[in-house]
Chain A
């Protein structure tokens, strides 16, 4: 029976997902062993009850992200923090050195000629600080890089499948 693979996109630029797709024709090989059951790349609305491997891109930035990542932890056997945002906070965490209100003002009011006041409705509120994924849940594998190279994805998936040891720094590093 095929194993289940999911990918999640939190506060990131989707570059990690693009890099994942860059494994090119080897995707077909991966799909022989895995079904992609939830991902921005496919059209399933609900995160399934039990998933074997979940790749998480992006940092935790909103209350919604926290809810989501906790649910995903419950339903996944293995969680891979993919990319620097998920591991360290990376670029999204640059706002942590400033007050949240001044960041919102700079982003939505100061530079806008139409709005001088910011009103949020129907979107989840931002956390005071952007957090790495492992600040909320336990993470099984870390795949640093911005983004991690396609080969790193492919080799990690292979290692998980064959239950082999994965030497992360052979393939990638912070900021790669």
Chain B
């Protein structure tokens, strides 16, 4: 394994060639905001909140960009903050995120990001799409109004539970999380009912019926899983 040397925010650092910018930054206590990333799941860079500036000329999501020799990485400046805010606004505007009546109110990673990035209003016009709520499963429900398409549920179902019940169908505006062949969740034969998808969901999109979110989201359970597996 080769060791690469580079700078993050002007500090000379080194990391293994298989490490991402985000991993090295977090090892050294450098804070980069994330949304779709979750420790223990394969990173896919779907939300773009974690973008950093590389060599002063290009932007890349730090969760899927591997470190390289001589990289000059900047994790925070006014331009990056503006881009992150715009990305966050677009995520908010794409669906109907109404915090006051959401079951995840107060326990939501999207809501926390609005505080972290200092976003107190929107400049982008909201799309107000018509979204379904699937309550056909015995224990769980999905509210597409709150979904940010981070695909954490897809990844945890495929890679950790090994069921691959969930996936994304459609593109752009029409993209939706589906179960099996876009049947109702209740009819999905491959679903084991383990609830891992509910635990990792950053917003109120996936929920356990009859329980408030604060009482049940255990987002750090994947870390235990990693430790137990000796990874």
Contact = CB atoms under 8 A, between A and B. Distances in A.
The B interface is mostly helix, strand or loop, or mixed, namely: loop
A135 interface: yes
B115 A173 contact: yes
A88 B122 contact: yes
Interface stretch (A17-25, A45-53, A90-98, A108-116): A90-98
Contact of A90 (B98, B111, B125, B128): B98
Interface stretch (A1-9, A29-37, A61-69, A138-146): A138-146
A98 B125 CA distance: 17
A31 to B, nearest CB: 27
9 contacts: A87-B120, A91-B98, A93-B128, A96-B128, A97-B129, A169-B118, A173-B115, A175-B99, A175-B111
Interface stretch (B42-50, B101-109, B185-193): B101-109
A81 interface: yes
B71 to A, nearest CB: 33
Given A96-B126, A134-B122, A168-B120, 8 more contacts: A81-B121, A84-B98, A88-B122, A89-B126, A90-B98, A93-B98, A132-B121, A146-B99
Contacts of B96: 93-94, 97
Contacts of A135: 125
B130 A174 contact: no
